[in-house]
């Protein structure tokens, strides 16, 4: 009798894990079909998630110097050039239609758990935004931010990781908090950032 109860409980746990796995695959499929790239979240049989990272080492044929960041807006990918024909590739959220841009800047500042002061034009577009928000887990800039030149734009983390691979921002580049912390640790103030 005890063996039957244990077997039934094990079967239920396995079934629930399989349902979570199928739901995760459906969510990723929806993101791909809607123009986004799925996050590289690792799922196991019981549905427990792994890290929230999209980072992958890839072959890279560009001519930029090692240490340069290249953001391909159309691909919704950020590349940290390593040299030797390789780069670290990360998924990013990019500006929505009308808010994309191209150019070359340098990282002029880096901040951990940055505060956020939405510009006046953003507050005029989006009702209810605060004039200022302290850094922390609820802050839209996430765990880290790297400021680009004298622009209002940043490469930053996000408390909405489901937007990675989407075109939803006002021109900034969003990354998962895991990814932005990794990139932040690899680059310095002065790093060249090329946006295509």
Q: Is 63 a catalytic residue?
A: no
* pLDDT 10s digits, 31-86: 333 334 344 443 333 444 456 899 999 999 999 999 999 999 999 999 999 989 99
Give the 3-state secondary structure of 49-86.
ECCCCCCEEEECCCCCCCCCEEEECCCCEEEEEEECCE
pTM of the complete model: 0.74
Instruction: State the pLDDT at residue 135.
Output: 96
Instruction: State the pLDDT at residue 47.
Output: 41
Side-chain-side CA neighbours of 143 within 13 Å: the count stands at: 13
Catalytically annotated residue among 63, 105, 132, 156: 156
Instruction: State the pLDDT at residue 18.
Output: 46
Structure tokens at 157: 């983390």
Instruction: State the pLDDT at residue 52.
Output: 82
Tell me which of 37-46, 105-114, 163-172 is least confident: 37-46
* Cβ atoms of residues 87 and 60 within 8 Å: yes
Structure tokens at 118: 């939405």
Side-chain-side CA neighbours of 113 within 13 Å: the count stands at: 5
């Amino acid at each position: 009798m005890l063996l039957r109860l244990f077997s039934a409980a094990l079967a239920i746990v396995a079934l629930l894990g399989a349902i979570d796995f199928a739901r995760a695959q459906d969510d990723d499929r929806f993101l791909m079909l809607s123009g986004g790239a799925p996050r590289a979240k690792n799922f196991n049989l019981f549905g427990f998630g792994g890290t929230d990272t999209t980072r992958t080492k890839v072959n890279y044929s560009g001519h930029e110097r090692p240490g340069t960041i290249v953001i391909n807006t159309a691909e919704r990918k950020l590349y940290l050039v390593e040299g030797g024909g390789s780069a670290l590739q990360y998924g990013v959220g990019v500006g929505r239609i009308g808010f994309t841009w191209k150019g070359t800047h340098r990282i002029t500042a880096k901040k951990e758990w940055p505060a956020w002061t939405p510009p006046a034009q953003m507050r005029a577009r989006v009702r209810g935004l605060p004039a200022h928000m302290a850094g922390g887990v609820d802050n839209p800039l996430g765990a880290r931010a790297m400021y680009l030149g004298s622009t209002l734009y940043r490469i930053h983390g996000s408390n909405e990781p489901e937007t990675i691979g989407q075109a939803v921002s006002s021109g900034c580049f969003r990354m998962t908090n895991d990814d932005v912390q990794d990139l932040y640790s690899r680059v310095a103030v002065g790093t060249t950032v090329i946006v295509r």
